[in-house]
A = this chain, B = another copy of it.
Amino acid sequence: MKITSSIEYATRLVVALGKFHSAEAVSSKKLAEIENIPADFVDQILMHLRRAGLVKSQRGAGGGYVLALSPSKIKLGDILRGMNGRIFDDVCEKYQSGKRECGRHGSCAISPVWKKLGVLIEDYLDSVTVEDLMGEKTSCAQVLSSPTAEAVQ
């Protein structure tokens, strides 16, 4: 299990836009420079985010991108869903879609665990907003020292 580059890029782009405080539109080119991400790839990612309704675009000279919602209203989960459709793919959906068979047909004790894991992941990602990610000060050590599963402050 891992976070793909496009997910991480998307997150960084949204957070970067958040930091501009929707003051003015930021061009994809500028975003690419700021975040050190291939420019064409940035366009592609922003397109996904726009379709997901997370950013708005302004065409023409001096145009660019702005967050469609305030940073406190955008959840990390929204970004992941906007990019991939879903956050966590259940293995068993492969079977359900008929590509394979595991032969358990509903009386499986394993499948619920994956399902629950998916819910757990999604709940956590939905508890973190873009606003939470806009501070510079949070360090890894801070977060890791708290063993409970609350949202990052």
Q: Which residue numbers of A lie inside 8 Å of B, CB to CB?
A: 1-3, 5, 7-8, 11-12, 15, 35-36, 76, 87-91, 101-103, 106-117, 119-121, 123-125, 128, 132-140, 142-144, 147, 149, 152
Bound CA span A3–B92, Å: 9
Q: How far is the CB of A120 from chain B (nearest CB, A)?
A: 5
Q: How many copies does the complex hold?
A: 2
B residues within 8 A CB of A138? 108-109, 112
Bound CA span A45–B6, Å: 30
- Of B1, B7, B110, the contact of A133 (CB 8 Å cutoff): B110
- Of B5, B108, B121, B139, the contact of A112 (CB 8 Å cutoff): B139
Bound CA span A116–B123, Å: 13
The 9 A-B residue pairs whose C-beta atoms are closest, nearest first, are A2-B89, A112-B143, A3-B91, A109-B138, A8-B91, A109-B133, A1-B1, A1-B88, A112-B140
